[in-house]
Amino acid sequence: MILSLLYPYERHLLAQGGYRQVRDPRQTLIYLLMVVAMTVPLIGLFVILPAAGADPPSTSSTIYVWLIAILCPIWMVLWLLAAIFRSNRLARASTGTPLRRRHSVAYATGGDDVVADILGRFRTGDPARYAPLPTGVKNGALRVQIWTADADRLGFVAITQGIRHSELVTLDGPAYDRLAAALDAGIGKTGTSAFAGDPTIG
């Protein structure tokens, strides 16, 4: 999982051109802070052991010492690898604005008619047609993904069906503003779905 750099549709966009990978400073900082956090038990270990002097350690304390001595360095390496490999995201090549992952939800049913219906709703730019989205499942045949390039006032919606990728729907101007507001309000929140009564996914 550590080497899973981008979502499948993001890799698809990268291959199409017009986008490039950039490092996410916030995500990188989080991973590096976890590396630093793992040093605390190790430092404590080196401080406590000399202070213990000649007192023979108990069996349980010996186990704890070995667990700290072995597991902490392993976790430090894993978090460091995550900082290197998993802190990437897409940015628009023309402006450098990063794509912010805003929402991802999977549905058990899928098909070209379902994809066309969902994308058509977003294409209208009317949140009443697409928000709230229906509750999804953990693993499904179809995944709806939403990104925003906030500095450019652009929103993007796409669907992945296994190894198949839909077209990318772009919302700009007022349509982006409405999408961003729906996302901020919780586009997947519990409530009556905008798809209620629709035989597709609602």
Beta strands at 100-107 and 142-149: parallel, antiparallel or unpaired:
antiparallel
| Percent over 90 (pLDDT), the chain | 50
Same-domain status, 102 and 177: yes
Q: Looking at 43, 59, 86, which one is the last position of a domain?
A: 86
130 and 170, same domain (yes or no): yes
Query: From CA 67, how far away is CA 42, in angstroms rounded?
Result: 11
Q: What is the value of pTM for the model shown?
A: 0.74
Per-residue pLDDT tens digits for 36-69: 998 888 887 777 766 544 455 566 667 777 778 8
Number of structural domains the chain divides into: 2
Are 122 and 163 contained in the same domain? yes
pLDDT tens by residue, 86-128: 888 899 999 999 999 999 999 987 788 999 999 999 999 999 9
Question: Residue 41 sits in which domain range?
Answer: 25-86
Place of tokens 């929140």: 189
Q: Whole-angstrom Cα distance, residue 121 to residue 131?
A: 10
Domain co-membership, 179 together with 144: yes
> Are the C-beta atoms of residues 149 and 98 closer than 8 Å to each other?
yes
Q: 11 in a domain, yes or no?
A: no
pLDDT tier for residue 1 given thresholds of 50, 70 and 90: very low
Q: What is the pLDDT of residue 154?
A: 98
**In a domain? residue 112:** yes
Q: Dump pLDDT digits (tens) for 151-182.
A: 999 999 999 998 899 999 999 999 999 999 99
Residues 107 and 68 occupy one common structural domain: no
Alpha helices in the chain (DSSP H): 8-16, 25-52, 59-85, 112-123, 127-130, 174-185
SS3 105: strand
Indicate whether 172 belongs to any domain. Answer: yes
